[in-house]
Amino acid sequence: MGRLAGKSVIITGAGSGIGRAASLLFTQEGAKLIAVDRSESVNETVELVRKAGGIAEAMMADAGSETDVMAVIDRAVSTFGRLDAIWANAGISGGLVPLAEQTVEHWQEILRINLIGPFLAIKHAMPHMIRQKYGAIVCTASVAGLKSGASGHPYAASKAGVISLVQTTAYSLSGTGVRINAVCPGLIETGMTKPIFDNARERGTDGKIGQLNPLKRAGQPHELAAMGLFLASDDASYVNGQAIPVDGGLTASMPYAGKPI
């Protein structure tokens, strides 16, 4: 039996990248999944899951909309009878706009998806999990939320907020049987980071990608999915309130600030 056998799980941002890799891995490990994305690509993810023999349903929704998040959680509970784990993974990058040119609207949209989105997932998943006295919440943060130099200002601030949200929520959930943790991806090859990889390949500097971490390479979505699986499963039953980097060792010294690839 898989590590999530029979568990009811929600993954947001499931249309591509880390979310798609997690959807495939979680269902391979026995999860019954509601895969969520605001893009129709979530239907492709569910098709891949079903072809592999997994159980999943697709739902298009905006992770930063409270109405949508409530509908997603209601769908999981009504379909599978309970909610055992949720991975609030949906996020946007916002690009690298110079600080003086950033607008309030730019910040608000990034914070809406990247920080308010996880808050909403926690807020509306929590009551179901507390009633069960069991549940695991995973949020996608970033190494950019740990130290500077990894991304633009609003993205980094939003991910630092996710880390703080996870830590403070762990104490709010004291004694409930519900755990919460964050994963902090380093440079992972996904749709969000595609411009970095494409630009480096065009310049012929793709050999430098990931060379600033001790493993000397970029990461892949399945490597983040594996950490999310651990945190969502009972293997991590004593792991709580943590923000865990999956970055090839980059945050061991964070040597990359001011060194573009």
For the annotated catalytic residues, the residue numbers are: 155
Backbone φ and ψ for 221, nearest 5 degrees, come out as -55, -35
Q: Distance between alpha carbon 193 and the CA centroid of its chain, in Å?
A: 14
Phi, psi of 176, deg, nearest 5: -90, -15
Task: Please name the amino acid found at residue 84.
Answer: D
The strand order across the sheet containing 32-37 reads 55-60, 32-37, 8-12, 85-88, 135-140, 178-185, 243-246
Contact assessment for residue 134 and residue 177, using Cβ atoms and an 8 Å cutoff: yes
CA distance 85 to 99: 37
Report the residue count for the chain. Answer: 261
**First CA to last CA distance, the chain:** 43
Q: Report d(CA 156, CA 160) in Å as an integer.
A: 6
Q: Report how far Cα 16 is from the mean position of its chain's Cα atoms.
A: 11
| Nearest alpha carbon to residue 21 among 242, 223, 255, 231 | 223
